[in-house]
Amino acid sequence: MFSDEIKHYDWDETIRFINSRRARDVEDALTNEHPSVEDFMALISPAAVPYLEDMARLSRDITMRRFGKTISLYIPLYVSNACTNHCVYCGFNHHNPLTRTTLSMEQVKAECEAIRHLGPFENLLIVSGEYPTLNGVDYLEQVLHVARPYFNNLTIEVMPMKARDYERLTHSGLNGVVCFQETYNAARYGVYHPRGMKSIYQWRLDGFDRMGQAGVHKIGMGVLIGLEDWRADVTMMARHLSYLRRNYWRTRYSINFPRMCPAEGGYQPRVVMTDKELAQLTFAFRILDNDVDISYSTRERPEFRANMMKLGVTSMSAGSKTEPGGYVSTPDALEQFHVSDERTPLEVAAEISALGYDPVWKDWDKIFD
């Protein structure tokens, strides 16, 4: 399990190594045909800042070769904001005295129908808080059965599960799983996750192994930019991705690194990442892993997403509502985060086309199940 491998990597030493990189290390990384995680560390280091244009060109060329001029579009469906966790940065924090909603199957169906009217989406991301008695495996299986007639590709972003539960859901239409480790800093993890199942660092970390063991078709990874030193966190994620590729090579992978915003309850991000730094990180990941799907959500501004889709990003959400029931009405329910790109899916697709790219609404077909 990766929880065994990560013990070989020291957090503070990782930071020192990144900060010790020099121009020669960056130049070597840019010319290496098979970049290593050490090369990645050079590319995200402060020493790489003067090389951003070189990194952007290389990232663009790799993306064109591997993905062509395509941008995959997906939309999230929030089915429940009930959560037993006490994550200090999240609007779904169990302490927050706000309206909690868990959609019935009739409401899930209505949301699916409303989404279909927004655009020809086939990629649906089903999102839920972590409350096993309300939105556990049985509930999620029902949601998948309801959503499957409407969408060809179903992904979940929910509580980590046992391998047998992931496998069970793959027989109910599940194609992919997204899970954010949030931070790989084990010493600080409990500060952000003081109570609830999410407070168990190893259970969450090894969830990716369980997805691989269950034969999940696509695994999505991510860290929250705003908790700890972002360079150390994304390096740990790069190590994790490399490990997963070696051990579960039949699986496809995606990555996401959302920048945190102030949350309900007064949380303020501890670390702020600039647009330039997010671009640098995107280029570095594309150079490290030519085939990984790099996703930007509607947290990011429209103009920034438009620029980055030409330089390494390969998938985007569009038209997102981050509260349960948000597509049918304007519910009195808790929103997980506020979106920055409020355009309709068709407006996003029109901009993609205007920039000479093809919006791709479909990534998987039921015939392959």
pLDDT the model gives residue 92: 77
Burial zone of 70 (CB within 10 Å; 0-12 exposed, 13-18 middle, 19+ buried): middle
Query: 34-91 pLDDT, tens per residue?
Result: 999 999 999 999 999 999 999 999 999 999 999 999 999 999 999 999 999 989 888 7
In the block, tokens 């349960």 appear at 324
HSE value, Cβ hemisphere, 13 Å, CA-based, for 116: 12
What span, in angstroms and rounded, lies between the C-alpha atoms of 141 and 237? Answer: 29
Amino acid identity, residue 147? A
Give me the pLDDT at residue 98, please.
72
pLDDT recorded at residue 337: 52
125: phi then psi, degrees, rounded to nearest 5? -105, 115
> Which residue matches tokens 């941008």?
71
Does 365 or 274 have the greater pLDDT score?
274
pTM comes to 0.94
What does pLDDT average to over the chain? 93
The class (CATH top level) of 2-8+69-368 is alpha beta
The yes-or-no verdict on residue 334 having pLDDT over 70 is: no
Alpha helix positions (H), the chain? 2-5, 11-19, 23-31, 37-43, 52-67, 105-118, 132-135, 137-147, 163-170, 186-192, 201-205, 207-213, 230-247, 275-288, 302-308, 345-354
136 — pLDDT class (breaks 50, 70, 90): very high
Structure tokens at 75: 């939309």
Per-domain residue ranges for the chain?
2-8+69-368
User: φ and ψ at 36, to 5 degrees?
Assistant: -100, 175
Q: Can you read off the two tokens belonging to residue 144?
A: 């998948």
The arithmetic mean of pLDDT across residues 278-298, rounded, is: 97
CB 356 within 8 A of CB 69: yes
- pLDDT-derived band at 338 (thresholds 50, 70, 90) equals low
Over residues 184-199, the pLDDT tens digits come to 999 999 999 999 999 9
Distance in angstroms (rounded) separating the CA atoms of residues 363 and 121: 10
Measured distance CA(259)–CA(153) in Å, rounded: 26
Give the mean model confidence (pLDDT) for residues 228-237: 97
Are residues 327 and 318 in contact, defined by beta-carbon separation less than 8 angstroms? no
Given a cut of 70, whether residue 179 has pLDDT beyond it is yes
Beta bridge partners of 296: 316
